[in-house]
Amino acid sequence: MKWIRTLIWMAAFFFAIHFSVQNQDEVTLRYSIQNIQWFQISRVPLFLVILCSIFLGVLMGGVADLYRYFKLKRTLRENQRTVKQLEQEIRSLRPSGNDRPSFVE
């Protein structure tokens, strides 16, 4: 199974290199709102813009996934705590000794 993952990573790496070689045209990045120019970056290779956009998207998705993971972990801890408290309450309500009915077990 490990060799399949290695093969997939090699194919992705080959694709990225091949893509980069074919898209070396230079572009200008600029951002402005109502005639106010916030920034302008000249002569950036196109492949760099695209690959950085993909990386940024994956990074944002990873951060969102980490947030969801920690939120679920917190909910799990709270539920485990509730189960433990309810089990203690059940034990305290059970009759002691041999006088308890057999169907409770």
Tens of pLDDT, residue by residue over 56-81, are 999 999 999 999 999 999 999 999 99
Residue 56 and residue 52: Cα distance in Å, rounded? Answer: 6
Render 4-57 in DSSP notation, one character per residue. Answer: HHHHHHHHHHHHHHHHHHH---EEEEEEEETTEEEEEEEEEEHHHHHHHHHHHH
The pLDDT score that the predictor gives to residue 95 is 73
| pLDDT of 105 strictly over 60 | no
Tell me, yes or no, whether 98 lies in a domain. Answer: no
- Is position 67 within any domain? yes
pLDDT above 90 coverage of the chain, percent: 58
Arithmetic mean of pLDDT over the chain: 88
Domain assignment present for 104? no
Q: How many angstroms separate the CA atoms of 17 and 75, rounded?
A: 43
Beta bridge partners of 36: 33
Residue 102 has pLDDT above 90, yes or no: no
- Total structural domains within the chain: 1
Which domain range does residue 65 map to?
2-91
23, 44 contact by CB (below 8 A): no
Q: Is residue 100 part of a domain?
A: no
Within a domain: 101: no
